């Protein structure tokens, strides 16, 4: 069995359970990795991601976002994407300069409406599909919303 050559026993950092991993570097480098790397067993990894996801869900609920719908895996991924995208919006918000108070107010309203649109996206899939959204994309949408407010 050639597989055995690449199989090493490591210990989970959290629960100290021993488990096997396959490493494909030189034997010397593999031994180094076995010794130095932080290893986590599947169970602890799952629990860790569960906790991370729960943390994000809580943080997002505090700013008006609902829990996402989808499989466990999708929700966990989508929460991370949602976190990054919300950070992009915050970054954009902070980088804006205003000529006067009216402009500032209009921008504030546009961002509120923009967030409302996002708050309606409760499917994990939507966030995964939009994971490549850039600050520029967000800026364009907010500008369009501003225009529609002005037009009223
Ligand atoms: Zn473990």
Whether 28 and 70 map to the same domain: the answer is no
The Å distance, Cα 34 to ligand 1 centre, comes to 15
The Å distance, Cα 76 to ligand 1 centre, comes to 19
Whether 26 and 82 map to the same domain: the answer is no
The reply to whether the predicted model has a pTM over 0.85 is no
Q: How far apart, in whole angstroms, are the C-alpha atoms of residue 90 and residue 80?
A: 15
The Å distance, Cα 59 to ligand 1 centre, comes to 26
Residue 80 has what pLDDT? 96
Per-residue burial over 17-44, b if 16 or more Cβ lie within 10 Å, else e, is eeeeeebeeeeeebeeeeeeeebbbeee
Domain of 21? 3-36
Tally of domains in the chain:
2
Residue 53 has what pLDDT? 93
CA torsion sign for 131, 107, 96, 66 is negative
The Å distance, Cα 74 to ligand 1 centre, comes to 23
Whether 22 and 87 map to the same domain: the answer is no
Q: Please identify every stretch of the chain with a pLDDT value under 70, giving residue numbers as ranges.
A: 1-4
Residue 150 has what pLDDT? 87
The Å distance, Cα 38 to ligand 1 centre, comes to 11
The candidate with the shortest Cα–Cα distance to 138, out of 105, 98, 91, is 91
Whether 12 and 54 map to the same domain: the answer is no
The Å distance, Cα 151 to ligand 1 centre, comes to 58
Whether 31 and 72 map to the same domain: the answer is no
The candidate with the shortest Cα–Cα distance to 107, out of 62, 60, 136, 141, is 141
The Å distance, Cα 37 to ligand 1 centre, comes to 14
Whether 127 and 95 map to the same domain: the answer is yes
Whether 14 and 47 map to the same domain: the answer is no
Residue 3 has what pLDDT? 60
Whether 71 and 31 map to the same domain: the answer is no
Whether 10 and 65 map to the same domain: the answer is no
Apex 46 CA angle, 45 and 50, nearest 5: 115
The Å distance, Cα 103 to ligand 1 centre, comes to 53
Q: Each residue of 115-151: pLDDT tens digit?
A: 999 999 999 999 999 999 999 999 999 999 999 998 8
Whether 62 and 122 map to the same domain: the answer is yes
The Å distance, Cα 50 to ligand 1 centre, comes to 14
Whether 70 and 92 map to the same domain: the answer is yes
Whether 88 and 143 map to the same domain: the answer is yes
Q: How far apart, in whole angstroms, are the C-alpha atoms of residue 135 and residue 141?
A: 10
Residue 5 has what pLDDT? 79
Residue 117 has what pLDDT? 96
């Amino acid at each position: 069995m050639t597989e055995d050559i690449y199989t090493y026993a490591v210990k989970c950092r959290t629960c100290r359970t021993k488990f096997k991993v396959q490493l494909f570097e030189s034997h010397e480098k593999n031994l180094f990795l076995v010794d130095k790397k932080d290893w986590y067993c599947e169970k602890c990894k799952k629990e860790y991601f569960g906790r991370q996801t729960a943390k994000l869900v809580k943080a997002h609920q505090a700013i008006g976002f609902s829990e996402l719908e989808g499989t466990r895996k999708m929700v966990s991924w989508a929460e991370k994407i949602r976190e990054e995208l919300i950070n992009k919006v915050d970054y954009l918000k902070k980088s804006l300069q205003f000529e006067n108070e009216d402009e500032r107010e209009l921008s504030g309203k546009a961002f509120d409406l923009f967030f409302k649109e996002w708050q309606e996206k409760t499917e994990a899939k939507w966030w995964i599909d939009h994971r490549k959204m850039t600050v520029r994309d967000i800026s364009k949408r907010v500008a369009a919303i501003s225009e529609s407010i002005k037009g009223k």
